[in-house]
Amino acid sequence: MFDPQTNRSRRVFRSTKTRDKKQALEICRAWHKAALKARNGKLSVDAAREIIARGVSDVFTAANVESLPSASVKSWCETWTEAKAIETEESTHARYKRVMERFTGFLGEAKSKRDLSTLQASDIARFRDGEAKELSRSTANLSVKVLRICLGEAVRQGLLTVNPAVRVKLFKSNAESKRRAFTLAEIKRILKACGDDTEWRGLVLFGLYLGQRLGDLARLTWRAVDLDSGEIAFTTRKTGRRIVLPLVQPVADYLASLPASDKPNAFIFPHAASAKRTASLSNQFRDILVEAGLLEPLARGHKSTGKGRNQAREASEISFHSLRHSAVTMLKAAGVSDFMAREIVGHESTAVSRQYTHLTTDDKRAAMQRLPDVTSALKINQPDVTSENP
């Protein structure tokens, strides 16, 4: 190195802290690469991280028969997304894929081809901010959560030592959820708006009295129904939780009105089950809400709103999920405990440890029999549903 005091160059010795000649050579090569870039004014933070990552990999390879596991950011994102195609629903996989494509696109071709270990929390934070600006805060938070899962798997496979996405904070919600429960009068209007569509009438009754998600209900088969015991049993897709619920009278009456099926795997709602995405069913239900006079029709086309396809649609305060809110709210209005209501709809709560409380189907039946029958005339003494969130 150059010594300004003597105006001469002098040799400097640094220990590589190893007696292995091959390892020492690779360490020296990494130092040399860094020194050359620094001399040329090109040793940026990213360049230094890339040199370190490659240097460590070369040192590992020199000391071992097999090389250090590695992957580029883009290749790992693609590998992880492909694996999720087997493990998740089609709609969930499509959502993951969109997030990964936006993330690698944000990083750019050069950065996405770098080693995964060079990825920093600051990269993800900038991506989060861009998502919030172009789409929405909720979309930005969802993208960070997806990256946490993706990079968490990379840690488990030894490609990363730490997950940089966990260091990135989620945006705080600037407002409480707008979603609310339906009133009994609104539910009557919805059932009337279903008209001759018996499937949607059934889905509404199932959504209200079973409190389950649209995707789970649409894929129910006759195997789940036990008319002798008056029960229905299934596993939810989102949480993998096994649900066993009694068939309250409106649901039992609906099932009795359907043609008998001798095929256990036949769908109770065949048209709904044929939908490729739950989103298409949600759009159909929105049309029913419009017919019921509870929502305004959507403007046709994207040009009328001035928003592109990537722009998030403004969330409505009512949707099929509102029936889930209605189920909990009606149960509470009927005097059912909060814990019982959450158990019936399968809502996970950290406030109560389920290992200490075991509810039988008869317990749930006694609670659910208190629910009003929305298929009969609205009675004055029946409690109305308030907009209380579960």
371 vs 340: CA distance, rounded Å: 13
In this structure, is the dihedral angle defined by the CA atoms of residues 354, 359, 363 and 369, taken in order, positive or negative? positive
The pTM for the full model equals 0.55
Arithmetic mean of pLDDT, 52-76: 62
Write out pLDDT tens, residues 189-210: 999 999 988 999 999 999 999 8
209 vs 368: CA distance, rounded Å: 8
* 247, 231 Cβ separation under 8 angstroms: yes
* 207, 245 Cβ separation under 8 angstroms: no
> Which CATH code of 3.90.1300.10, 3.40.50.2300, 3.40.50.10800, 1.10.150.130 fits the domain covering 73-167?
1.10.150.130
In this structure, is the dihedral angle defined by the CA atoms of residues 344, 345, 346 and 348, taken in order, positive or negative? negative
220 vs 235: CA distance, rounded Å: 10
Reading the block at residue 113, the tokens are 């081809």
Instruction: Output helix, strand, coil percentages for the chain, rounded to the nearest 5.
Output: 55, 5, 40
221 vs 88: CA distance, rounded Å: 20
Arithmetic mean of pLDDT, 288-309: 70
295 vs 316: CA distance, rounded Å: 9
Instruction: Tell me: pLDDT of 184 over 70.
Output: yes
Q: Does residue 55 or residue 148 have the better pLDDT?
A: 148
Write out pLDDT tens, residues 234-256: 888 776 778 888 898 999 999 99
Return the CATH superfamily for domain 184-298+316-368.
Answer: Intergrase catalytic core (1.10.443.10)
Write out pLDDT tens, residues 143-152: 999 999 999 9
Q: How confident is the model at residue 68 (pLDDT cuts 50, 70, 90)?
A: very low
139 vs 127: CA distance, rounded Å: 11
- Kindly give the pairing relationship between strand 8-9 and strand 242-246: unpaired
Q: How confident is the model at residue 78 (pLDDT cuts 50, 70, 90)?
A: very high
Share of residues in the chain with pLDDT > 90 (%) = 38
Residues 6 or more apart whose CB falls under 8 angstroms from that of 85 comprise 93
Q: How many CB atoms lie under 10 A from the CB of residue 287?
A: 14
Cβ-count burial 321-348 (b if 16+ within 10 Å, e if not): ebbbbbbbbbbbbbebeeebbbbbbbbe
Arithmetic mean of pLDDT, 51-61: 53
Q: What is the DSSP letter of 176?
A: -
Residues 6 or more apart whose CB falls under 8 angstroms from that of 99 comprise 142, 143, 146, 147
Q: How confident is the model at residue 378 (pLDDT cuts 50, 70, 90)?
A: very low
Q: Which helix (H) or strand (E) holds 127?
A: helix 121-134
Q: Does residue 142 or residue 336 have the better pLDDT?
A: 142
112 vs 119: CA distance, rounded Å: 9
- Kindly give the pairing relationship between strand 231-235 and strand 242-246: antiparallel
Arithmetic mean of pLDDT, 269-285: 91
Over the chain, what is the mean pLDDT? Answer: 78
Q: Does residue 303 or residue 373 have the better pLDDT?
A: 373
Res 128: pLDDT: 96
Reading the block at residue 223, the tokens are 């195997």
Among 24-38, 66-80, 320-334, where is mean pLDDT lowest? 24-38
Q: CB under 8 Å, gap of 24 or more: what pairs does 281-288 form?
A: 281/214, 281/215, 281/218, 281/320, 282/214, 282/319, 282/320, 284/200, 285/200, 285/203, 285/214, 285/319, 285/320, 286/316, 286/319, 288/190, 288/193, 288/194, 288/200
* 311, 135 Cβ separation under 8 angstroms: yes
Domain boundaries, the chain: 17-63, 73-167, 184-298+316-368
Q: What is the DSSP letter of 271?
A: H
Instruction: Tell me: pLDDT of 364 over 60.
Output: yes
- Kindly give the pairing relationship between strand 225-226 and strand 8-9: unpaired
3-class DSSP state for residue 217?
helix
Res 256: pLDDT: 92
142 vs 128: CA distance, rounded Å: 9
